[in-house]
A and B are shown apart, each in its own frame.
Chain A
Amino acid sequence: MNGRGAAGIFAFTADNLKAANAILAKYPDGRQQSAVMPLLDLAQRQLGWTSPAVIEYVADFLGLPAIRVWEVVSFYTMYYREPVGKYRLHICTTTPCWLRGSDEVVRACKEKTGLDFGETDENGLFTLLEVECLGACVNAPVLQINDDYYEDLDADRTAALLDALAEGRPPTTGTQAERLNSAPEGGKTTLLESDARC
């Protein structure tokens, strides 16, 4: 991972350059600028966040004005415009999650980490972020940590989850309740004659 300085110069590593060109090749001729989002993602994975240097670099890479790339970056919560911690806690607070108790999840996260939204702790372990619907309403409330979803949370489960992360043993992703994926808790209630596991 490159340095975390705000300024600085960014460039793709040799591997990522190869990956970037593979991404570009997916777009029809003259439409390469459409690759702006996957390239930003690639760059963010390399640097850890989307610094101004990343934006300039991707803009140059695609022949786009920097402001157009800024617009994209500022539109999506998934691009971090400031350096972030090892675990990014994206808490969904949109209506379904809110109805199912996302306030509890938020409270647990804030208590456990001592952070407010948008903040990163001193050790660079956690970053707390508030996001809009993550599309997993069926298992609300949902917490996205880095690329993984942790679902069916409440205050206790969230606290346990964060403890496990802090100790360096990430729990199984997906639902934290006693059920498979989004099947009913305590076993299935329909299609009982089916052999499918539940």
Chain B
Amino acid sequence: MPKLTVDGIEVEVPPGSTVLQAIEAAGKEVPRFCYHERLSIAGNCRMCLVEIRPGPPKPAASCAMPAGDNMEVLTSSPMTQKARKGVMEFLLINHPLDCPICDQGGECDLQDQALFYGADTSRFEENKRAVADKDMGPLIKTTMTRCIHCTRCIRFAEEVAGVPTIGAVGRSEHMEITTLERAVASELSGNVIDLCPVGALTSKPYAFNARPWELRKTEGIDVFDALGANIRIDSRGPEVLRVLPRLNEEVNEEWLGDKSRFACDGLRRQRLDHPYVRRDGRLHPANWAEAFGAVQARFEGRSGTKIGAIAGDQVDAEAMLALKDLMQALGSPNLDCRQDGAAAVPGHRASYLFNSTVRGIEEADALLLIGCNPRWESPVLNARIRKRWLTGELCIGMIGDRYDLGYRYDHLGDGGQALRGVASGRNRFCAELKSATRPMLIIGTGALARSDGMAVLATAQRIAELNGLIREDWNGFNVLNRAASRVGGLDLGVVPGEGGADTEGMLSGAVDTLFLLGADEVDLSGLGGAFVIYQGHHGDAGAARADVILPGAAYTEKSGTWVNLEGRVQRSERATFPLGEAREDWAVLRALSDVLGSPLPYDSLPALRARLALMNPVFDTRDEIVPAEWHRTVVEGRVDDAPFASPVSNYYMTDPISRASETMAVCTEAFLAAETRDG
């Protein structure tokens, strides 16, 4: 443990730390542009120069200098200050003075650091260089003249995203960052916008929309996949203008997938802003009383067994509980939160959780992927797998369709046969799992949402038990859920009751009255003449088929609880108000229950949340993991030989919001449509 002093403060840092880390440990600040905690060290911006004694009589780049014993680091000595001023002057030589028209203005590292560490005037009288802008695709806007060549974007693309398509061509003054006119084909590409310390890479959809100080920043939870990435929702007035990641080391570090980041323009289109009732085959705008009246008329005297409800993928736990309570009050056992019908054992959390936790991936040394495409089902989680793989400690096997995941894996087979092979110890990958100290498997909902899903689940559990994935201090069995609502729904038991129909049953005629709570990814063609009530925020598939539409709130418009795939309970705050007549979902259900004559026993959010915790004590926790007890499921039946495939055919459009988003449509065209046409 090297011991050194920083401005007279004594600090002790772990071996291998840099001087910059030691300075931070001492609570001092060092300006920097190229250095980033999660990227390799480049040491090329020189902004972090400090004076180090003993040593040569010149400042050293603290980001690249290993901390040594008895070093004396000076972060505000005349030498350091002069060095910083000099570096800043060089950086500004070719940087345009276009802050007033630059989108980075107000949140620009260069702007801030020039203020604190730079000189007040420029001595440079020659011409500044100009650089042609590059095409980096539909999400990243480039103004390359502003680039200061920190190379963060290059390192991010290569190291984190695993798509080495950004590079620096030319040399010295002619160096330029480029992608060779190709879009950055990564689901994480938007993160380079956050990483860029200047206004060279900015958000194309958000271009010239707002200044950071005009925005109201709300802490939220992402609902476009089940990871539950922590986000900051930036809104102005009634509009969500952009979504940025928040730091959470346990979940998303500081990354965010492109869909989560850019689909927010879908919140402005195709919205349901007042109730509708279908008359004479057409949907007519109505008021709440008329809509509730139409629902009541349908429910009047109808047996609960003929009524069913399906909760969609983005629904919050509060709304799902209200739905469940309402269905129970109506005497209906037909309830499901699984649109895809993926197998899970409600009540046994370990059967549907990502038990190893996301951070646990960084300890794993053997990983078996079964029927999933983590790159599309949860790109940020995939980056975590890649991060571990890059260390060389992780050996990966894969059963199912092949995908380009950004890391190499051993393809063991396509379907059931390979899975049974692993379960019976005949597969070559069993040795890897058995010899590993932290083995894990990740099974996708694509493999579980088949008619033999329960058998697949049971087989995967057997593999986990036989290969030492289940230990006292380690659970290597992981389900890669895709729906943000899924774990919360299963925790609340939003599943068919005694004798009740599941999603598939309800959709194939088991009920004649169906309540869809934000459920749009189901095949409604088999419903026949059933009466459909759709509650949600977008005019998508469900609303198109509905007889009554109850407008609800999108994820940015309500304070809601979501449980991520690890079982982490997280709360999102309201950034904007629901549109028009729309109301928060639980409140709509509460009001409807009144009309139906069986009022739900809560009339405030705190009361509803108290009931959440009553239903499942896990809802009493916040942002923490409660390890789930292991139960093995015993199922009759055999795993079918059919190949396992991921259910996601287009990462950019998986839900009502992203399907309504113009940006996501452009991405689909740019990244997928061309490929499909060729194929």
Contact = CB atoms under 8 A, between A and B. Distances in A.
Contact of A68 (B164, B170, B171): B164
Interface stretch (A42-50, A70-78, A147-155): A70-78
A40 to B, nearest CB: 14
A19 interface: no
Given A66-B180, A67-B180, A74 B164 contact: no
B168 A71 contact: yes
B647 interface: no
B153 to A, nearest CB: 12
B633 interface: no
A65 interface: yes
Contacts of A68: 164, 167
Interface in B145-173: 158, 164-171
A66 B180 CA distance: 9
A71 B158 CA distance: 14
A75 B171 contact: yes
- Tell me what chain B mostly uses at the interface: helix, strand, loop, or mixed: loop
Interface centre among A67, A68, A75 (most CB of B within 10 A): A67
Interface residues of A, number: 8
A74 B170 contact: yes
Interface in B166-185: 166-171, 178-180
Most chain A CB atoms below 10 A, which of B164, B167, B170, B171: B167
Contacts of B158: 65
B310 to A, nearest CB: 45
Nearest to B154: A67
Nearest to B158: A65
Contacts of A66: 180
Interface string B297-322: 00000000000000000000000000
A68 B163 CA distance: 12
A70 B170 CA distance: 9
A163 B178 CA distance: 42
Contacts of B165: 65, 67
Contacts of B171: 74-75
A75 B164 CA distance: 18
A107 B166 CA distance: 39
A71 B164 contact: no
A106 B165 CA distance: 38
Contacts, number: 26
Contacts of B180: 66-67, 70
Nearest to A70: B169
Contacts of B168: 71
A70 B178 CA distance: 10
A70 B154 CA distance: 14
Nearest to B171: A75
B177 to A, nearest CB: 10
Contacts of A71: 167-169
A71 B539 CA distance: 48
Interface string A62-92: 0001111011001100000000000000000
A67 B179 CA distance: 7
B172 to A, nearest CB: 9
Interface in B326-358: none
Nearest to B174: A74
A75 B168 CA distance: 9
Contacts of A67: 164-167, 178-180
A69 B168 CA distance: 11
Contacts of B166: 67
A146 B117 CA distance: 49
Contacts of A65: 158, 164-165, 167
Nearest to A65: B164
B381 to A, nearest CB: 24
A74 B167 CA distance: 11
Nearest to A71: B167
A68 B179 CA distance: 11
B147 to A, nearest CB: 15
A75 B171 CA distance: 5
A51 to B, nearest CB: 14
B111 to A, nearest CB: 29
A123 B158 CA distance: 43
B353 to A, nearest CB: 37
Contacts of B170: 74-75
Nearest to B163: A65
Contacts of B178: 67
A173 to B, nearest CB: 28
Contacts of A74: 169-171
B170 to A, nearest CB: 5
Contacts of A75: 169-171
A71 B154 CA distance: 12
A66 B164 CA distance: 9
A65 B179 CA distance: 11
Contacts of B169: 70-71, 74-75
A126 to B, nearest CB: 24
A65 to B, nearest CB: 4
B181 to A, nearest CB: 11
A70 B180 CA distance: 9
Nearest to A75: B171
> For B168, B169, B178, B179, which residue has the most chain A Cβ atoms within 10 angstroms?
B169
A191 B166 CA distance: 57
B404 to A, nearest CB: 13
Contacts of A70: 167, 169, 180
A53 B140 CA distance: 27
A56 to B, nearest CB: 11
Nearest to A74: B169
Nearest to A69: B167
A66 B165 CA distance: 8
A3 B171 CA distance: 29
A65 B170 CA distance: 17
B164 to A, nearest CB: 4
A168 B180 CA distance: 40
Interface in B14-69: none
A43 B170 CA distance: 20
B174 to A, nearest CB: 9
A70 B169 CA distance: 7
Nearest to B170: A74
A66 B170 CA distance: 15
A131 B170 CA distance: 14
A13 B165 CA distance: 29
A47 B477 CA distance: 55
B244 to A, nearest CB: 27
Contacts of B179: 67
A90 to B, nearest CB: 16
A75 B170 CA distance: 5
Interface string B402-424: 00000000000000000000000
Nearest to B166: A67
A57 B378 CA distance: 34
Interface string B78-115: 00000000000000000000000000000000000000
A65 B161 CA distance: 14
A67 B169 CA distance: 8
A75 B167 CA distance: 12
Interface string B630-643: 00000000000000
Given A67-B164, A67-B179, A75-B169, 9 more contacts: A65-B158, A65-B165, A68-B164, A70-B180, A71-B167, A71-B168, A71-B169, A74-B170, A75-B170
12 contacts: A65-B164, A65-B167, A67-B164, A67-B167, A67-B178, A67-B180, A70-B180, A71-B167, A71-B169, A74-B169, A74-B171, A75-B170
Interface of A: 65-68, 70-71, 74-75
Interface of B: 158, 164-171, 178-180
- 7 closest cross-chain pairs (CB), A and B: A67-B167, A74-B169, A65-B164, A75-B171, A71-B167, A74-B170, A70-B169
